[in-house]
Amino acid sequence: MNKMCVIGAGSWGSALALSLYNNKHKVYMWTRDIEQVEEINKTRENSKFLPEVIFPKDLIVSNDLKEVIEDSEIIVLAVPSQAIRSVCKQIKPFVGDNQILVDVAKGLERGTGLRLSDVVKEELPNNPYVVLSGPSHAEEVSRLMPTTLVSACENIEYAQRVQEAFMSPYLRVYTNPDIIGVELGGALKNIIAFGAGMCDGLGYGDNTKAALMTRGIVEIGRLGVAMGANANTFTGLSGIGDLIVTCTSMHSRNRRAGILMGQGKSLQETLDEVEMVVEGITATEVAYKVSRDLKIDMPITKAIYSVLYEGANPNEAVQNLMTRSKKHEMEEVVNNGLFK
């Protein structure tokens, strides 16, 4: 029995802690919130983030970082993307060089535009780093519904060790050496999912969503290739797969937030109602600025940015997208290298 730990007790961190436990690992989960620690330890339920899912009594929940991290083979970083740097600083005194860091957050760092792997490498440069991503809702994973993920690392041996830790009859994990593509697929799909929700809130139909998702994956691939990713990664689980699940499910907080803004709510009203981190909002800001700096055309991202940060009307933003200059679909795809 190997010790594993999960830093963060939100819905996804909780679901992954349960997945590791079900694979017969000794699992510790950390949260800074002492009330959450007390609630889970008393009721064996994480009522805010994963209601009606029972935690086994020997899955340890604690707010003591040293207790949680010490001797853990794998450290899962399951905190919001904008908290990754501060959490890495917090855990640094307790982390040994041989411990594998597994990031499951999906985002880009505000202010620097860095991928999360670069953020972690700046703070914990000596540790193996793996991204675990793909089309996955915590609510379904915690209830043992069949799900597939991707374990990505430049050193495939570490990707395989994480694959082995999580694989089960209910959770199938593939490996991929393209850490850039897997990270960016997970981060950028949240932007498109927010847009899909906005279209739902405006009352548009399936045609609109299909167009948004199809053009969205091209846009994701365009920026991804410019940042060093393998274009083929975006046709896989962390690209199209994650895009589909996030754009179509009410489990998706990005889609739910988009729906609310499409219905006319303000950004603050939307955040107050969702009550959880909406990664697509920050990702839109960062990706728009990165694409502008790299001179990469991302019209959907630009339109969503205009709604979120420039006060544009969602309906007008859609109309602006629809009335742009004429394009040749396949010539554009080939010229940008996607799906070659």
Catalytic site residues? Answer: 189
Could you tell me if 199 and 209 are in contact, meaning their C-beta atoms sit under 8 angstroms apart? yes
Q: How many CB atoms lie within 10 A of CB 212?
A: 23
Distance CA 56, CA 46 (A): 12
From edge to edge, which strands make up the β-sheet containing 147-152? 60-62, 26-30, 3-7, 74-77, 100-103, 129-133, 147-152, 171-176
Distance CA 270, CA 54 (A): 30
Residue 182, token pair as written in the block: 């897997």
Single out the residue of 106, 136, 130, 141 nearest to residue 14, CA to CA: 141
Q: Is the dihedral of CA 48, 50, 52, 56 positive or negative?
A: negative
Residue 226, token pair as written in the block: 């410019």
Distance CA 3, CA 76 (A): 12
Distance CA 156, CA 49 (A): 33
Q: How many CB atoms lie within 10 A of CB 227?
A: 18
- Residues paired with 95 in a beta bridge: none
Report how far Cα 304 is from the mean position of its chain's Cα atoms.
18
Distances (CA, A) of 81 to 28, 120, 235, 281, 303: 21, 11, 24, 12, 23
Residue 35, token pair as written in the block: 């009330």
Single out the residue of 104, 20, 116, 133 nearest to residue 68, CA to CA: 20
